Amino acid sequence: MLLTSSTHNHTTLCDGKSTPAEMAAAALAAGFTDFGFSGHSCAPFDMEYAVRSEEEYVRILRALQAEYAGRLRIAVGMEQDYYAPVQDRATLDYIIGSVHYLRDGAGRYYAVDGAPEDVDACVARMFGGDALAMARAYYALVAENVRRFHPEIIGHFDLIKKNNRGGRLFDEEDPAYRAAALEALAACAETGAVFELNTGGLFRGSTDEPYPARFLLDALRAMGVRVTVNADAHCAEALCFWFDEALALLREAGFARVAVWENGAFTDKPL
Ligand SMILES: [Zn+2]
Ligand SMILES: [Zn+2]
């Protein structure tokens, strides 16, 4: 088995449906050697989806890590939103750098992966109806996030496409859209962070392809950037969703290796 771990997984400690114990048991049953938790970092402006207490989160998962010692190496990471930096990074094994929100001048937050109405409101209020301008602002923030916080992993790079099925808001083949995405991609790649091929949108039926899109994968391959595979699982059933297809996609895109989390670091395994 090539993929013996994953690093982007949620639990009931944030907006997931399975408990940490259920996720760890599922990882062990799937034959994983390593398993990383990545709750949404504490976000006072959106308590619905985020970890309530970072301290408690770390304490619970470190206890689980000790319980599983010798059977499954558990890593305690965090999915850090740009607007919700972690309180104590030293207590974590890694962070995933993600952008979920745009914030307007009045301090209102809009979840780009939220309800379509919220995204429409964001386009109308923040960008005067110009959805391409919203996409540009999103990618600028993705690049800023990575430059500023140097996450080990870059989460769902083109999440902004989630609410754009059928080109509802902007044209993903528009050279202006692609240029904004590619510029951010290059800035992120420079930091040496590992990108994830994220299958979570596919599992939840909100996208028709993984993150990132094929033209971005091609650019990553051309730049020699390391890519790992993650399900962004919010329940045990999603743990390895679309993993075989993801590996086939990477091979087809010309990648020779996939980055796999093992014993506290990424290792490159031949595809
Ligand atoms: Zn996320
Ligand atoms: Zn996530």
Whole-number pLDDT of residue 50: 96
Ligand nearest to the CA of 231: 2
How remote is the CA of residue 148 from the centroid of ligand 1, in Å? 18
Taken in order 126, 42, 51, 265, the sign of the CA dihedral is: positive
pTM, two decimals, is: 0.97
Query: Judging by beta carbons within 10 Å of its beta carbon (0-12, 13-18, 19+), is residue 29 exposed, middle or buried?
Result: exposed
Question: Is the predicted pLDDT of residue 224 greater than 90, yes or no?
Answer: yes
Q: What domains can you pick out in the chain, each with its CATH number?
A: 20-270 (3.20.20.140)
Ligand nearest to the CA of 155: 1
Whole-number pLDDT of residue 47: 84
How remote is the CA of residue 179 from the centroid of ligand 2, in Å? 25
Task: Give the separation between CA 43 and CA 80, rounded to whole angstroms.
Answer: 9
Whole-number pLDDT of residue 143: 98
Confidence bin at 48 (pLDDT 50/70/90):
confident
Q: How far apart are the first and last CA of the chain?
A: 11
Report residue 192: phi and psi, to 5°.
Answer: 85, 5
How remote is the CA of residue 100 from the centroid of ligand 1, in Å? 6
Q: Mean pLDDT over residues 235-264, rounded?
A: 98
Report residue 266: phi and psi, to 5°.
Answer: -85, 140
Q: Which residue has the tokens 């390593």?
A: 34
How remote is the CA of residue 11 from the centroid of ligand 2, in Å? 10
Which residues, 6 or more positions from 167, have their beta carbon under 8 angstroms from its beta carbon? none
Whole-number pLDDT of residue 11: 98
Q: Are 113 and 129 in contact (CB under 8 A)?
A: no
